[in-house]
Amino acid sequence: MIGQLFDKPILIFGCGNILFGDDGFGPAVVNHLKANYVLPDDVLVMDMGTSIRDTLFDLSLSEKKPKKIIIVDAADQSDRKQGEVFEIPVEGIPEKKTADFSLHQFPAVNILQELKNLTRIDIVVLVAQTEVVPDTIKPGLSETMQAAVSDACERIMQYVTSKNPKKPYEDQGL
Amino acid sequence: MGKVVNIQPVTRIEGHAKVAIHLDDAGNVADTRLHIQTLRGFEKFVEGRPVEEMPRIVCHICGICPWSHHLASSKAGDACFGVTPPPAAVKLRRLMQMIAYVGDKLLHFYFLAAPDFLIGPDADYAVRNVVGILSAAPDIAKQVVHYRHLTAQILENFAGRAIHPTFSIPGGVSKPMTEAERLEMLDHAKGLLDFSKFTIKFAKENVFAKYMDAIKALGVIKVGYLGLVTDDGTLDFYDGKLRMMRPDGTYDDFADDAYLDHIGEHVEPWSYQKFPYAKTWGDGPVMDLDNPVGVYRTNCLARINVCDKMATPLAQTELEEFRDNFGRPAHLTLLYHYARLIELLQCAEHTVELLEDPEITSPDIHTKVVPRTGRGVGCVEAPRGTLIHDYESNDEGLISRANLIVGTTHNNAAMNLSVKQAAKELIKDGTYDQAILNKVEMAIRAYDP
């Protein structure tokens, strides 16, 4: 799969730690997509766990850049309903939120903002509002978040079918 | 009452960190605290799980060094079951470790450290970032991406997964290597070695020489070191005895399963992360900048200090030059970057050596394991420091107790001291700016937490 990283114009990355309850939302969405949907040939979908930073670094420096990156993640925002699926604009993530954006072991927001500002990649951060992210290890999504998985998958399928780029990739430079 | 200056998040480090700098009424640094997010509850979570499942579970502890946890856990499983994997299995484990580490060390130097040096520590964050590297050194950036991607592809093509590996299991590994795979991988490995040679030459000429003033001043502390070495004192990432070196260069060697006799674990009320310390060096830990007690460091500078020699010829030549310039032990914190590249060279050379060894294609890759009551300590050198997995199993082969110490945790006390040193050196009379705060961050980034 990772061999196709620079060859696919649409990349879907499920992010999160499956050991921490609802933080495993991203990987769960990836698994559901793979099991229940036929994805277009120009889409690469990967469970990145907590490893996405390496890949974002590589993409940021590569000549071959995708058209679109869809990050699927868990979020904790006080004004949202538990299980609500929504987009976070990369540039709209408040500075104070960059640290507690999720329980991940990586501050990927910095790199996402660099990618957004300095390249022409269309970046979508699709998240679901968590119900339970435990302080200590406890795998498994809450029922609320489990129900949100199919909603997120439907949204993703709309992204990848209605906005599907025709070219395999372009050398976009900066 | 003074104020608190927060740096949050600390950009481009491998963990999720924030720094709180406490200023006194005069605006000088009274104290600093580095907070790093930690994974809690893992030891309890794994109780009752089969030992053979552990190498797959532990990959989820850290997204940055899953191979290190995977291999440390496999070694702990070997020891729990009392088995020795066949030589080819050990060589394949070592091979995967070396390839993963080459990618990791390239990541750290070019993506995390280089913006500070190639673009300049005083530059605005808007340009002092990874994309700024593309403008500053476009040809190198292309090669970095190529070779980093190559390491991930090799891991995935041979071992099945690059991110959440399932390759290593107690008793050995899950698949042998064919001759065709060996030849193809050897060709790639030679390319990785060439780029590693280029990287250390480039860094010596364009980074370390240029920033020697900063290297001599930033985050400097004088503490001890910990790392794995073989019986003859050679640096080894996969196996060996632990060597704990005091600040004056004297040291004690001990078996990895005796780590509890030498390493204590202290807690502070303001941090979730443990503070390991050297138990035998007095009443530690004392995190006093002028007189630290029990504080030691791990990761590449520590390994370069504790070893008598490197395992490969080109890396050995580099070590000798390093020691001619900085002595042993070398205490300058920013030398972590230099040490990391000496290690990069050893990893790349060792990759080629392993692939030129015909035994690596032996089909004998697994020793049968039988559940039993036992204890197993698996210790490897992870990119970020000495990684210890300590398991006890019951007669059904289920985990009854587990204890983990990860690389970054060993460095917790030392990182706090380096942050304090850098902040005290740079912030005077309440005067600071983004460039100064970035230099404080640089002291942390050197450790690659």
Confidence of residue B9 (pLDDT cuts 50, 70, 90): low
Give the up-direction half-sphere exposure of residue B320: CA atoms within 13 A in the CB hemisphere.
7
Q: What is the pLDDT of residue A171?
A: 42
Q: What is the pLDDT of residue B238?
A: 98
* Average model confidence (pLDDT) across chain B: 91
Burial B201-219 (b: 16+ CB within 10 A, else e): ebbeeebbeebeebbebbb
Mean pLDDT of B96-111: 93
Residue with more model confidence, B146 or A78: B146
Task: State what percent of residues in chain B have pLDDT above 90.
Answer: 71
Q: Are B220 and B331 in contact (CB under 8 A)?
A: yes
Interface probe for B, chosen from A13, A31, A58, A121 (most Cβ of B below 10 Å), is A58
Helix (H) or strand (E) holding A23: none
Q: What is the pLDDT of residue B8?
A: 66
Q: Cβ A50–B64 below 8 Å, yes or no?
A: yes
Mean pLDDT of A64-82: 88
A123 inside 8 A of chain B by CB: no
Residue with more model confidence, B272 or B227: B227
For the cut 50, the answer to whether the pLDDT of residue B156 exceeds it is yes
Mean pLDDT of B416-432: 93
Q: What is the pLDDT of residue B11?
A: 46
Confidence of residue B1 (pLDDT cuts 50, 70, 90): low
Q: What is the pLDDT of residue B119?
A: 66
Q: What is the pLDDT of residue A168?
A: 38
A99 inside 8 A of chain B by CB: yes
Give whole-number Cα distances, A2 to B95, B148, B416, in Å: 19, 11, 37
Q: What angle do CA B28, B16, B431 make, to 5 degrees?
A: 20
Q: Return the residue of A nearest to B65 by Cα.
A: A51
Q: Cβ B62–A5 below 8 Å, yes or no?
A: no
Tell me the shortest Cα–Cα distance from B111 to chain A, in angstroms: 7
ipTM: 0.76
Mean pLDDT of B106-130: 73
For the cut 70, the answer to whether the pLDDT of residue B369 exceeds it is yes
A119 inside 8 A of chain B by CB: yes
Q: What is the pLDDT of residue B236?
A: 98
Residue with more model confidence, B137 or B127: B137
For the cut 80, the answer to whether the pLDDT of residue B212 exceeds it is yes
Mean pLDDT of A20-47: 94
For the cut 80, the answer to whether the pLDDT of residue B116 exceeds it is no
Residue with more model confidence, A11 or A15: A11
Mean pLDDT of B376-399: 96
Mean pLDDT of B41-57: 91
* β-strands B17-23, B224-229 pairing: unpaired
* Among A79-93, B245-259, B397-411, the least confident range: A79-93
Which residue among A19, A60, A174 places its CB closest to the CB of B130? A60
| pLDDT 10s digits, A74-123 | 887 778 899 999 998 877 655 443 433 333 334 466 677 777 777 888 99
Q: What is the pLDDT of residue B300?
A: 96
Q: Are A49 and A15 in contact (CB under 8 A)?
A: yes
Q: What is the pLDDT of residue B38?
A: 65
Annotation: CATH topology of A2-163: Rossmann fold (3.40.50)
Helix B179-203 vs helix B335-355: angle between axes, to the nearest 10 degrees? 160
* β-strands B4-7, A170-171 pairing: unpaired
* Average model confidence (pLDDT) across chain A: 80
Q: What is the 3-state secondary structure (H, E, C) of A99-168?
A: HHCCCCCCCHHHHHHHHHHHCCCEEEEEEEECCCCCCCCECCCCHHHHHHHHHHHHHHHHHHHHCCCCCC
Mean pLDDT of B382-407: 95
Residue with more model confidence, A119 or B399: B399
Q: What is the pLDDT of residue B284?
A: 81
Confidence of residue A158 (pLDDT cuts 50, 70, 90): very high
Instruction: Report the distance separating Cα B155 and Cα A20, nearest Å.
Output: 26
Residue spans of the domains in chain A: they are 2-163
Interface probe for B, chosen from A51, A101, A172 (most Cβ of B below 10 Å), is A51
Helix (H) or strand (E) holding B123: none
* Among B46-50, B96-100, B440-444, the least confident range: B440-444
For the cut 70, the answer to whether the pLDDT of residue B326 exceeds it is yes
